[in-house]
Amino acid sequence: MRLLFLVSGVSSIVIVCLILLFLLKDGLPFLARYSFWSFVTGTTWAPIAIAAEFGLLPILAGTLTVTAIAIAIGLPVGVGAALYLSEAAASWERELVKPFIEVLAGIPSVVMGFFGYVVLGQVVRSIFGAPVEHNALTGGIILALMAIPTIVTISEDAMRSVPKTFREGSLALGASRWETAWRVTLPASASGVTAATMLGLGRAVGETMAVLMCTGNAPVIPTGVLQPIRTMTATIASEMGEVPYGSTHYHALFMVGAVLFVLTLAINTAARKLIGRFHFRGR
Amino acid sequence: MSRKSATQFIAFWLLRLVCYTVVAATGYIILDIAAKGWPHLSWEFLTAMPRNRMSAGGIWPAIVGTLYLVLLTIALAFPLGVGAAIYLGEYARAGRLTRTIRLAIANLAGVPSVVFGLFGLGVFVIFFNFGTSLLASAFTLAMMILPVIITASEEALRAVPQGFREGSFALGATKWPTVRRSVLPYALPGMLTGSILSVSRVAGETAPVLLTGAALSAAMPESVFDQIMILPYHLFILATNMYPPQVYVPLAYSTALVLLLVVLGLNGVAIAIRYVVRRKHSF
């Protein structure tokens, strides 16, 4: 029996290795046909043009832009909501609001994308005067909404696990509840908040359907947040269905997948390292 | 002192505003989809085949496809995930192998879903020659939800008191009978809860299925090697690829509502199981 369980246990390692192996198996042939340098520094993604170009920069910039917008909105909102729930809300209020926010996490990404596509796009267009409904900002707001439940849940847990004595000490010195929340609880829970943000970041980089639907599907380097863009994930999802097996384009998409894999791996590893350090300092 | 309390008043009200903005956004999304999806929802919509380029009839094959996909995925992932959790929770000793397994699980959880799609395309569709099919999609999604099932199952194992194991050992039982008779029965409900939660993610997942087994329109699947229609992809197509929107967007709303009900319904079932079980066994 032990052996059987050992095999199941090891399966995760095998799967991670297989993912890397198969991404490289179908990704590396791309580099035999297209120069690595032109791939990473190219500013045009035009895979079906007669002189096909596979420049990574436009779709990498697209991914970074929506991710940055999502974090810029999601981090303050998520941490603010968590701070409210943990430090100011009555316990009955917390018990009602927290599960409700968690429902948001359960909404499938394609439904969030659909909402962004038909409703939010129009709002963004009329409020910010965007030239088109589907642009980096629309996608970024939807991504922020998808990241917020994670940020709220993990940050709030971290804040509530700050020892009570920290707060009592601060209050005894004459600080108000707000000063205690801002100067004591928030810094003491920095590790959890960082973990939450990093998880949200990793998810935003990897999110596919919502950004595919909301960001306008234009693989060009953006100069502003109201422009249509396209992310790496959306590029794979929207183009993979139409490429002939074994073509340069096919291998290029696997190469983009490999870049995405490495990028998210780096973010997650950095998150774990960072969390370890904060924990050490907090104790 | 009054300036201090004024600051606190303003700060807490701002945080409350932020928190309830998130609540309002969640409510708005759900109500928008419920209100605009409801009028078109009918018995025929749920149980008929799509007709007339999807502009009439219903979404029955997409509902069935989603159901088959969910069942097959869980059938593949549950035994493997539980096996891995039993290894980690009951058999493994701290050491390099255990650390590596945990690292692999953490990394697997961070891999973007579209990268799983590429992996599934390379391994199951092409290498194992399943073709774009229900089976290939189910295998792909099973790999994807494996970390969630392992983590949830391990937690469920950890919640079984140590005394249960010690009692069994004291009566002379060896490792496996102890696990099977004194640990697993009590951990199983917790494992199921975690797995149902991960299944609700399968029901809403689009990108990996898009690359490995989803069809724009397909007959009812008759074997695991058939392509399938699924609710999320159907929604995506109705919303973004069909013209004119006046005809298709209302249908998309109803599809979104059905998908939302399936996903939130599954979450509700999981939470209900957890609630009932917690009341029944409290160690």
Please indicate, yes or no, if residue A267 is contained in any of the structural domains.
yes
Residue A247 burial by CB count (10 A; 0-12/13-18/19+): exposed, middle or buried?
A: middle
Residues 248-277 of A with CB under 8 A from B: 253-254, 257, 260-261, 264-265, 267-269, 272
Residue A283: its pLDDT value, please?
40
* A222 min Cα distance to partner chain B (Å): 23
Residues 52-91 of A with CB under 8 A from B: 76-78, 80-81, 83-85, 88-89
- pLDDT of A277 higher than 70: no
A173-214 pLDDT per residue, tens: 999 999 999 999 999 998 888 888 888 888 899 999 999 999
- A46: β partners: A53
Please state, in angstroms and rounded to a whole number, the distance separating the CA atoms of residues A278 and A190.
7
Please indicate, yes or no, if residue A259 is contained in any of the structural domains.
yes
A169-178, A250-259, B111-120, B215-224: range with lowest mean pLDDT: B215-224
- Report residue A87 as tokens: 């430090």
- pLDDT of B280 higher than 80: no
Q: Quick one: closest CA in B to A263, which residue?
A: B111
Residue B15: its pLDDT value, please?
96
Say if residues A225 and A198 touch (Cβ distance below 8 Å): no
Question: By C-alpha distance, which of A107, A58, A69 is closest to A229?
Answer: A58
Q: Is A139 on the interface with B (CB under 8 A)?
A: no
Please indicate, yes or no, if residue A20 is contained in any of the structural domains.
no
Q: Is A108 on the interface with B (CB under 8 A)?
A: yes
Please state, in angstroms and rounded to a whole number, the distance separating the CA atoms of residues A265 and A195.
15
| B282: confidence class by pLDDT, cuts 50, 70, 90 | low
> Is B101 within 8 Å of A267 when comparing Cβ atoms?
no
- Name the helix (H) or strand (E) containing B50: strand B50-51
Please indicate, yes or no, if residue A232 is contained in any of the structural domains.
yes
Interface-testing mutation among A4, A8, A152, with chain B (most B C-beta atoms within 10 A): A8
* B42 min Cα distance to partner chain A (Å): 20
Please indicate, yes or no, if residue A14 is contained in any of the structural domains.
no
Contacts of A15 in chain B (CB under 8 A): 104, 108, 143, 146
- Report residue B251 as tokens: 């249908």
Please indicate, yes or no, if residue A87 is contained in any of the structural domains.
yes
Residues 147-206 of A with CB under 8 A from B: 148, 152, 176-179, 182, 202, 205-206
Count of CA atoms in the C-beta half-sphere (13 A) of B198: 27
A235-246 pLDDT per residue, tens: 999 999 889 999
Please state, in angstroms and rounded to a whole number, the distance separating the CA atoms of residues A59 and A233.
9
Using CA atoms, how far residue A64 sits from A215, A231, A263, A267, B78, in Å, is: 13, 8, 11, 13, 35
Residue A196: its pLDDT value, please?
85
- pLDDT of A23 higher than 70: yes
- pLDDT of B283 higher than 70: no
Using CA atoms, how far residue A60 sits from A41, A117, B92, B93, in Å, is: 11, 22, 41, 42
CATH number reported for the structural domain that contains residue A259 in this entry: 1.10.3720.10
* Beta strands B56-57; A45-46: pairing state: unpaired
A93-119 pLDDT per residue, tens: 998 998 889 889 889 999 999 999 999
Residue indicated by tokens 């894999």:
A261
Say if residues B266 and B203 touch (Cβ distance below 8 Å): yes
Residue A44's SS3 state is coil
- Report the residue from B19, B80, B118 with minimal CB separation from A257: B118
Please indicate, yes or no, if residue A8 is contained in any of the structural domains.
no
Please state, in angstroms and rounded to a whole number, the distance separating the CA atoms of residues B89 and B175.
12
- Name the helix (H) or strand (E) containing A45: strand A45-46
Query: Which ranges of chain A does DSSP label H, i.e. alpha helix?
Result: 2-33, 36-41, 57-83, 91-106, 109-115, 121-128, 136-160, 164-172, 177-180, 186-188, 190-206, 209-214, 232-239, 248-282
Average pLDDT over chain B, rounded to whole?
A: 91
**What is the maximum span of chain A, computed from C-alpha positions, in angstroms?**
74
* B79 min Cα distance to partner chain A (Å): 9
Say if residues A206 and B111 touch (Cβ distance below 8 Å): yes
> What is the span of the domain harbouring residue A199?
29-281
Give the number of other Cβ atoms within 10 Å of residue B184's Cβ: 17
In total, how many domains does chain A have?
Answer: 1
Please indicate, yes or no, if residue A115 is contained in any of the structural domains.
yes
Residue A269 burial by CB count (10 A; 0-12/13-18/19+): exposed, middle or buried?
A: middle
Residue A275: its pLDDT value, please?
67
- Report residue A238 as tokens: 């929207």
Say if residues B235 and B59 touch (Cβ distance below 8 Å): no
A28-42, A73-87, B264-278: range with lowest mean pLDDT: B264-278
Q: Quick one: closest CA in A to B106, which residue?
A: A268
Average pLDDT over chain A, rounded to whole?
A: 91
Contacts of A265 in chain B (CB under 8 A): 107, 110-111
